[in-house]
Structure 1
Amino acid sequence: MTTLSGLLDGTPLWVIGIGLVLSMAIAAAIGWFVRRRLVAASGEREKSDQEGYIVSGALGLLALLLGFTFSLAIERYEGRRALVLEEANDIGTAYLRAQILPSPHRERVSNILVVYTDNRIALAQVHGSGSERDGLVRQNDRLLTDLWAETVAVMPSIRDAEFSGAYIESVNAVIDMDTARKVARGLHVPSEVFLLLLVYQIVSAGVLGFVLYGRHGIALATMLCLLFTLSLLLIIDVDRPTSGGVRESQTPMLLLKDSLASQPPKVFNRTVEGVASPELTDPAAF
């Protein structure tokens, strides 16, 4: 099953599509050949109602399996999409709470979070696996280590402050969200489900080849096989968190990046030695 999962995740979709179409064509040809032999042996050429029931049942169950598998893939996709928004909120909260820290820790933590946000966006947009992704993952882990090291360094100066607990909580949320997104990217539809679906789709093609004979029957069988193949390819694509074409939007993280760029630490310096800054007294600033 591990081998099948690796093939589904690493093989180009067009290769999977061609392989599946060829397999279904062979199965349909076998079904057509068996039909001819039976007709030649019995001389019976009329369709029976039983054949219609068998085709309806086989295609109905195939559609049910496709719908069930698509639901599993979409559920995982929606989970990854929700985590993007949650992570953007956690990083934004940690950034704002970091502005209460004394200098130079405030600037250091703020800079780490800005670089970390850029890294998370790049990591989500890189396609497939390889040296580029591995480098971004190493940078990601190093930034989290730096974030926690800076938090440890600032603790002696804020240990008795009321906001220290809230700040620690926000940093923990950022670190926990990293683990949550890594786990979410590794979740796939079980390989057993895809194996059953592939076998059932090929067998259904054989049933179509047995029942739908003649020019119109072949055209109808071909259309159905192509539709089912396209549906399965879409499911496989959605189930590829790091290499598929259907990937979760990074809009919340991009909005966060713009927000952090427009709010450097100096923006929050509203008072200097108890005197309000000009922005607070200038109506044109609002």
Structure 2
Amino acid sequence: MSQPLIDPWLYSIALLLGLLICVQAGFVLGRRYGVKGEANTLSGAVFGLLGLLLAFSFSGAASRFEHRRELITQEANAIGTAYLRIDLLPAAAQAPLREAMRKYMQQRLDTYQAMPGSASSARAWADSAATQQQIWTQATTAAQASGSNAALSLVASALNEMFDITTTRLAATRNHPPAVIDLMLFLLALMSALLAGYGMAEGGRVPWLQVMVFAVALTVTVFVIRDLEYPRLGLVRVDAADQLLVEMLHGITPR
């Protein structure tokens, strides 16, 4: 599981302070060198580029967030199907396999509920991979012993789907825009603030209320975009989707 190169809170604080400093710096430059008519035209072009980049970044982050939630549902369905198909195997093999499946589900939950990149998350991932091999060996051996090709095919296909989704989910957690996009967004926001402050020099003063609203709104927007990209770390989370696996685990655990 991946982590951002820079903590989202530090990134946001740096952006907010940078915006305010750049507005003031632009105002000072505007007072010193005088505001020309072309400045507003150029500022509009930069603001338009910033808005376009924000829109694409937010759309991409929201799309990836929804995709990660959908993958949790797909994994829950795949595990549920594989668990039901244990009934196709000989009775003697069913109890050990069901116990292994319950252990596997708990390991999958531990993998993603632990802090991304932590030792506990890596350990849970390794344990789940070992349990995958155990389940596959037990299930295929039991299916072959039953002499039913149909049972072997159905059980193997269900297990393959259950195992494949783990790789898909891992890839989804690592699927983020290049770091240069974050850097470009940061620098473009600062450039916009600098040009905004430069244009304010024509009025003779800095309207700090409007500046604060602009800076906070832009910072919050960028923070939400980054939060959507890492839904295991910030305020926007996919924990609610994990409840599907939790409920399934409770539903199949003997009481």
Fold agreement, TM-score > 0.5: yes
Partner residue, 2:109:
121
Letter in 2 for 1:94: A
Which residue number in structure 1 is paired with residue 59 of structure 2? 71
Among 214, 218, 233, the residue aligned to 1:228? 218
* Residue 26 (structure 1) aligned to one of 21, 28, 32: 21
Paired residue for 1:177?
A: 165
Seen in structure 2, the aligned counterparts of structure 1 residues 33 and 216 have a Cα distance that, compared at 3 Å, is closer
Question: Unmatched 5+ residue regions in structure 1?
Answer: 1-5, 265-286
Q: TM-score, normalising length from structure 2?
A: 0.88
Q: Is the 8 A contact 1:123 1:136 kept in 2?
A: yes
Q: 1:100 to 1:160 in 2, by over 3 A?
A: closer
Map Cα deviations across residues 152-176 of structure 1 (whole Å, 9 max, x no partner).
3213313434222111100111110
- Tell which structure's C-alpha radius of gyration is larger: 1
Contact 1:119–1:139 at 8 Å: present in 2 too? yes
RMSD after superposition? 2.2
Q: Helix, strand or coil: the match of 2:150?
A: coil
| Structure of greater relative contact order (alpha carbons < 8 Å, 6+ residues apart) | 2
In the aligned structure 1, how far is the partner of 2:122 from the partner of 2:235?
20
Taking only the aligned residue pairs, the percentage that are identical comes to: 24
Q: 1:33 to 1:159 in 2, by over 3 A?
A: farther
SS at match of 1:178: helix
Which of residues 79, 86, 106 is equivalent to 2:94? 106
CA distance in 2, matches of 1:181, 1:73: 16
- Give the alignment of 1:150-161 within 5 angstroms: 150-161=138-149
The alignment status of 1:250 with 2:245, answered yes or no, reads no
Q: Which amino acid aligns with 2:124?
A: L
Aligned length: 250
Q: Which amino acid aligns with 2:248?
A: L
SS at match of 2:253: helix
TM-score, normalisation: structure 1: 0.79
- How far 1:11 sits from its partner (Å)? 3.4
Matched, 1:211 2:199: yes
**How far does residue 190 in structure 1 lie from its aligned partner after superposition?**
2.4
* Greater helix proportion: 2
